[in-house]
Amino acid sequence: MGRKKRGTVRSYGKEKNFNRGGGKVGEGYDLAMRDNELFAKYYKGQGIVPEDEWEEFYATLKKTLPVTFRITGYKSQSEELLSMIKGKYFSNMLDVQVDGETIAPPKCLSWYPKELAWQLDLTRKIVRSSEPLSRLHDFLIAETECGAISRQEAVSMIPPLVMDIKSHHKILDMCASPGSKTAQLIEYMHSDCPQGELPSGYVIANDTDNKRCYLMVHQVKRLQSPCCMVVNHDGTVFPKIRTNADEHNPQFQLFDRVLCDVPCSGDGTMRKNFDVWSKWHPLQGANMHGLQLKILRRGCQILAVGGRLVYSTCSLNPAEDEAVIAEMLRSSQGAMELVDIQDMLPGLKFTKGVSSWRVMTKAGEWIESAEELPPAMKTQVKLTIFPPTPEEAEKFHLDKCIRILPHQQNTGGFFVAALQKVRHLPGSREARLEAEATAKAAEAASTAEEQAPTESEQTVKSSESVPETETAQSAAVEEATETGGDKRKAPQSGEEPKPKKQRMYGYKEDPFLFMTAEDPVWPPIRDFFGLGEDFPASLILYRSEQGKRSLYYVSQAIRDIVRCNENRIRFINMGVKTFSRSPSPLVPECDFRITQECVATLQPHVTKRLVTVNKSDAIIITSQENPFTFKLSDDTQEQLKKMSPGSTVFMFSPSEKEPSPKCEIVFCGWRGKASVRCFGSRCDRAHALMLLGEDLKEINKRVAAEKQAKLEAKKSAEQEDSALAKEGDDDGGAEEADDVKGEEGEKDNQLKEEEAKVPEDSSEGPPEDAKEDAS
């Protein structure tokens, strides 16, 4: 990942624990405050909630949400993690009783694939009062920290699921921060790709709020994908992505998938954002309608024909939901169609989208038609908040939209619609260029027939007509320009307005620069790790010419976007940190080490610094600080002997002899003179150990005990020293240390002294990371 702007990230109330009630106010929020008369009147009047379900609906809205989480799907380890969660943690929860009541067992979300999403009913009280639950709680926190689990509201998981993501898709998440859905999109793109290969597609995560873009960087970084980037634009005028850098003949690409998870009134989130209760009023939704429509419209404009756009809100309000979709369908004149997504969500309870609804003034009076709008409101709201005519409704099929009501399965409220683009939007440049090209092609064909040119004439003609011929075919879309079309023809009434020119004012990111194979920095890295000539140096990115301290890896598609859009797109972040500069006197041939973030992606390319380890070695290396090599198996020692000191990749693979865990575990580390070291962060190491069958709580206890023992040893050594200093005798301390450590301790002490002469893990390894990685 690239650089983070200092001091710009806010936590946005992100909770670190897994207890129920992630709201701003908390569980103690007065139940009486969870009421709003106008809200009740408005929604009763909409007919969205069946009359006989109203009480249950309203009562559910007042309850805090249960916890839901997903196991992140594209890592090979997800199945192993799932079986561990089910076997080790959930099975212990089955008969837990708190205050005489049996705790509800974890519930698998049926509509989420491969049993990877779960719902839990955990309150602080319950977690505290039960050992199995507190273990599960600690486990979930640790796994969330390393990205193996994502805590996410159940309904919020739906939009990416119905996008039908493939690994070659060009995907845009228009309103992406804080990035929980972006994470899903990245996961699905990778899941669709054979193990060990990178998707040819990409995910662009955009948000108009610069600070919130940085919030997203953290979320996206956890997935360690070289195929995504974070950008910062107003979604209503999101710039088209250029596919070449030729100013005179610009070409563009459209997206295969667009997610518009638009800003909204959020009245579906009342169960966690309790302040929505007091702030809600009937015009809130209508006030958001215009912006939502603009974002959706731009999304449809930059969607490729045949592509799918998913529109979602966490609001139940038709003004923000069906009304926006209806207006888009109306203005698209058949170019956009709603897609039936119900089959993609087996077992999900929902209500179908509606074709009629009502509008209310802020004071709570119903307005049945646009004509009845009070003059003051005419300037405030768009007329498109009103429902479609019966004729329109018949064409629109708004019942293909889905609305999830909180009481249906104990969730938040949500709305989702999937649209398919069947042809270019009327008035769009693509449509115009296509029409022009078709007309020209027809004209050329009839002229050709009339004139029947000689062979030499034909050659000249076809070369002259190349641009038009290309435009006439599918390349029309790619070649469309944002300005070219307008120069040829003024917009006609009903045409899409020309998108505003993007400005790059205030854009302060460091540049995104790419390595070349000729860069003097590259050959030592390539040769030291045996990366092979086919590993593309051109995909390695850095942010500053001075020093090149950190190198990042991006996919070809991401690189192409950067190269062709340098002064058009406000890039915030991309790439996975791959190599980090850490010069060591012991490794004069290469100043860089591999980082944990990219080790899994890079491992298939590493031929020289790879050590395969058995389970016991993997446990030793990931759990101990600087284990001596002699503690490892003979096979591992043999491999290490053949290797010079320096950055190393360690890998455990399941085998017949050691079938469990059923997944590879790869971690980066260091081969020292007489010891090895794991450079994974504390949570990466805990995650690896958990997969290797070690109990996290036991590990934590052991680490704490080791720390305590060290502290005590240090303290007693200090006391000893001061006593000896007084007595003028300096032999006793060493004797005591040997007594405590025994034979191995003696050997340890000798070797440690030897290693101390070569400052292995301070000057050999990267000082910063060594500090950061030490657990």
Ligand X SMILES: C[S@@+](CC[C@H](N)C(=O)[O-])C[C@H]1O[C@@H](n2cnc3c(N)ncnc32)[C@H](O)[C@@H]1O
Nearer to ligand X, 220 or 689 (CB): 220
**CB of residue 207 to ligand X, shortest distance in Å:** 5
CA dihedral 547→553→559→563, nearest 10 degrees, is: -10
Per-residue string for binding with ligand X, 132-161, x by CB under 6 A? ------------------------x-----
Q: How far apart are CA 327 and CA 684, in angstroms?
A: 48
Say if CB 223 and CB 233 are below 8 A apart: no
Q: How far apart are CA 350 and CA 407, in angstroms?
A: 10
**CB of residue 419 to ligand X, shortest distance in Å:** 17
Nearer to ligand X, 314 or 619 (CB): 314
CA dihedral 465→470→473→479, nearest 10 degrees, is: -130
List binders of ligand X among 177-196 (CB under 6 A): 177-181
- Is 684 annotated among the ligand-binding residues? no
The DSSP call for residue 226 is: T
Say if CB 745 and CB 737 are below 8 A apart: yes
In three-state secondary structure terms, 396 is helix
**CB of residue 302 to ligand X, shortest distance in Å:** 13
* # binding residues, ligand X (CB under 6 A): 19
Of 259, 308, 529, 525, give the one whose Cα is nearest residue 421: 308
Peptide bond into 645 cis (omega under 30): no
**Of 201-209, 385-393, 572-580, 663-671, which part binds ligand X (CB under 6 A)?**
201-209
User: Angle CA(201)–CA(205)–CA(211) in degrees, nearest 5?
Assistant: 155
- Is 207 annotated among the ligand-binding residues? yes
CA dihedral 221→226→230→231, nearest 10 degrees, is: 160
**CB of residue 102 to ligand X, shortest distance in Å:** 34
**CB of residue 116 to ligand X, shortest distance in Å:** 17
Nearer to ligand X, 237 or 344 (CB): 237
Q: Tell me if residue 146 is catalytic.
A: no
Nearer to ligand X, 210 or 612 (CB): 210
Nearer to ligand X, 297 or 559 (CB): 297
Pairing of strands 336-339, 571-574: unpaired
**CB of residue 219 to ligand X, shortest distance in Å:** 8
Nearer to ligand X, 263 or 318 (CB): 263
537 touching ligand X, by CB under 6 A: no
CA dihedral 535→539→544→546, nearest 10 degrees, is: 20
Helices 696-727/682-691 angle, 10° precision? 120
572 touching ligand X, by CB under 6 A: no
**CB of residue 402 to ligand X, shortest distance in Å:** 17
| Interface residue with ligand X, options 85, 174, 385, 649 (CB under 6 A) | 174
**Of 203-211, 320-328, 336-344, 607-615, which part binds ligand X (CB under 6 A)?**
203-211
Nearer to ligand X, 177 or 675 (CB): 177
**CB of residue 273 to ligand X, shortest distance in Å:** 12
Per-residue string for binding with ligand X, 278-317, x by CB under 6 A? -----------------x----------------------
**CB of residue 314 to ligand X, shortest distance in Å:** 6
Of 665, 697, 679, 655, give the one whose Cα is nearest residue 80: 665
* Kind plus residue range of the DSSP H or E element containing 351: strand 351-352
Nearer to ligand X, 265 or 648 (CB): 265
Q: Where are the alpha helices (DSSP H) in 302-428?
A: 322-332, 375-378, 390-396, 406-409
Nearer to ligand X, 208 or 409 (CB): 208
How far apart, in Å, are the Cα atoms of 22 and each of 17, 58, 63, 243, 277? 9, 20, 12, 43, 15
List binders of ligand X among 713-742 (CB under 6 A): none
Helices and strands in the chain: count of H runs, count of E runs: 28, 29
**CB of residue 482 to ligand X, shortest distance in Å:** 18
**Of 128-136, 205-213, 650-658, 659-667, which part binds ligand X (CB under 6 A)?**
205-213
* Kind plus residue range of the DSSP H or E element containing 255: strand 255-261
**Of 202-210, 303-311, 368-376, 735-743, which part binds ligand X (CB under 6 A)?**
202-210
Sheet hosting strand 592-594, strand order edge to edge: 513-514, 540-542, 550-553, 576-581, 592-594
Pairing of strands 107-108, 101-102: unpaired
Of 241, 269, 243, give the one whose Cα is nearest residue 255: 241
Q: How far apart are CA 402 and CA 334, in angstroms?
A: 21
* Kind plus residue range of the DSSP H or E element containing 768: helix 767-773
Phi, psi for 559 (deg, rounded to 5): -60, -45
Tokens of 206: 């955009």
Q: Which residues contact 651 (CB under 8 A, 6 or more apart)?
A: 603, 610, 611, 612, 613, 664, 665, 666, 667
Nearer to ligand X, 526 or 570 (CB): 570
Catalytic residue among 175, 314, 564, 598: 314
| Interface residue with ligand X, options 122, 148, 175, 185 (CB under 6 A) | 175
Tokens of 609: 């610094």
**CB of residue 229 to ligand X, shortest distance in Å:** 15
In three-state secondary structure terms, 619 is helix
Nearer to ligand X, 236 or 601 (CB): 236
| Interface residue with ligand X, options 212, 272, 429, 671 (CB under 6 A) | 212
- Is 486 annotated among the ligand-binding residues? no
List binders of ligand X among 220-279 (CB under 6 A): 234-236, 261, 263
| Interface residue with ligand X, options 80, 153, 207, 256 (CB under 6 A) | 207
Of 283, 273, 281, give the one whose Cα is nearest residue 37: 281
Binding residues: 207, 234, 261
Positions annotated as catalytic residues are: 314
What residue ranges bind ligand X (CB under 6 A)? 156, 174-181, 207-209, 212, 234-236, 261, 263, 295
Binding residues for S-adenosyl-L-methionine: 207, 234, 261
